């Protein structure tokens, strides 16, 4: 049974002896709620984690595209992180849109200072509409400063190409090699993982690769025909962050968290048609398991 499904099915019938994990999203704000901090906190909440948020960027954005980006002062970003971590014990961190090299450097510096655990890095570079969300000059800083803090890296294929200074993988064979090369860029002296998402390859089935440097795990899933894919990367990485603290003690906690997160996202995509938000790439249904239709009498 998927990990998140266990949480859902037992949420009203048992009492936890431990409080829910505290998980923070360090990302941008999407006013339409389909991506960024708002989507991340929805995901945390759906998976029974307590959600916190640190805002890196403000966007003027909807389901059809990004109209503008504003980056608040980096000193204030540092203050947000320090104020939160000094008070709330954070069990996992999801990192999303960072926009610029100074923002990347500030986030990396403060996470190192607070010795943040379970850091899931979603290297957000391009919006679903095609709008750029990360300065090209920030890519090097991402590799240099944030990769050392990263526990799970979750790029899609175009992002993998940028991170490796190469074209995006176009075949499964190239995906395998890209996953290996990305893992080589993470610290080699400790457990780190790459989740390379294969959704950009054609076909009715999509395959993600989860790799820790030794074990390459293929994770297939059926492709769901829908235009409602806004924020899927944000949602997946947030679900992993929410489930990682709850997966501790399992035989393979990262694999369990990733499988549970992928199952949650598949169901959220499948239920997205019940929402009516915008005229472009609509959001997934983060609360698909909670917003049940009332029974007819």
pTM (2 d.p.): 0.91
Instruction: Round the average pLDDT of the chain to a whole number and report it.
Output: 89
- For 120-145, write each residue's pLDDT tens digit: 999 988 665 556 667 778 889 999 99
Question: If you count them, how many residues does the chain have?
Answer: 297
The catalytic position among 59, 94, 197, 198 is: 197
Q: Which two tokens stand for residue 80?
A: 């947000």
Sign of the dihedral defined by the CA atoms of residues 175, 176, 180, 183, in that order: positive
198 is catalytic: no
229 is catalytic: yes
Specify the DSSP class assigned to residue 154. Answer: -
Residue written as tokens 């679900």?
Answer: 239
Domains in the chain and their CATH numbers? Answer: 22-274 (3.40.1190.20)
- For 263-294, write each residue's pLDDT tens digit: 999 999 999 889 989 898 989 999 999 887 66
Q: What angle do CA 272, 5, 20 make, to 5 degrees?
A: 105
140 is catalytic: no
234 is catalytic: yes
65 is catalytic: no
The catalytic position among 34, 36, 198, 233 is: 233
The catalytic position among 43, 57, 232, 235 is: 232
Residue written as tokens 């990262």?
Answer: 254
- For 219-249, write each residue's pLDDT tens digit: 999 999 898 989 999 999 999 999 999 987 7
231 is catalytic: yes
- For 170-187, write each residue's pLDDT tens digit: 999 999 999 999 999 999
pLDDT of amino acid 294: 61
- Segment of 66-70, 78-82, 272-276 carrying the highest mean pLDDT: 78-82
The catalytic position among 96, 231, 260, 282 is: 231
């Amino acid at each position: 049974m998927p990990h998140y499904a266990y949480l859902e099915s037992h949420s009203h019938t048992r009492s936890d002896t431990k409080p829910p994990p505290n998980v923070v999203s360090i990302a941008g704000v999407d006013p339409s709620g389909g991506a960024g901090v708002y989507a991340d906190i929805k995901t945390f909440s759906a998976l029974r984690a307590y959600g916190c948020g640190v805002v890196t960027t403000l966007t003027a954005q909807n389901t059809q595209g990004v109209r503008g980006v504003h980056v608040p002062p980096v000193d204030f970003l540092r203050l947000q992180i320090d104020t939160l971590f000094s008070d709330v014990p954070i069990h996992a961190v999801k990192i999303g849109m960072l926009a610029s090299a100074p923002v990347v450097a500030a986030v990396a510096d403060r996470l190192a200072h607070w010795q943040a655990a379970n850091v899931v890095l979603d290297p957000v570079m391009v919006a679903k509409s095609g709008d750029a969300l990360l300065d090209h000059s920030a890519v090097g800083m991402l590799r240099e400063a944030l990769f050392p803090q990263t526990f799970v890296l979750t790029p899609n294929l175009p992002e993998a190409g940028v991170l490796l200074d190469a074209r995006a993988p176009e075949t499964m064979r190239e995906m395998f090699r890209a996953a290996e090369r990305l893992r080589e860029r993470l610290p080699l002296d400790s457990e780190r993982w790459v989740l390379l998402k294969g959704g950009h390859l054609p076909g009715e089935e999509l395959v993600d690769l989860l790799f820790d440097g030794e074990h390459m795990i293929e994770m297939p899933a059926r492709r769901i025909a829908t235009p409602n894919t806004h924020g899927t990367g944000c949602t997946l990485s947030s679900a992993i962050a929410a489930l990682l603290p709850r997966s501790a003690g399992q035989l393979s906690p990262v694999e369990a968290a990733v499988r549970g997160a992928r199952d949650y996202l598949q169901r959220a995509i499948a239920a997205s048609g019940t929402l009516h938000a915008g005229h472009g790439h609509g959001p997934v249904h983060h609360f698909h398991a909670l917003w049940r239709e009332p029974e007819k009498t």
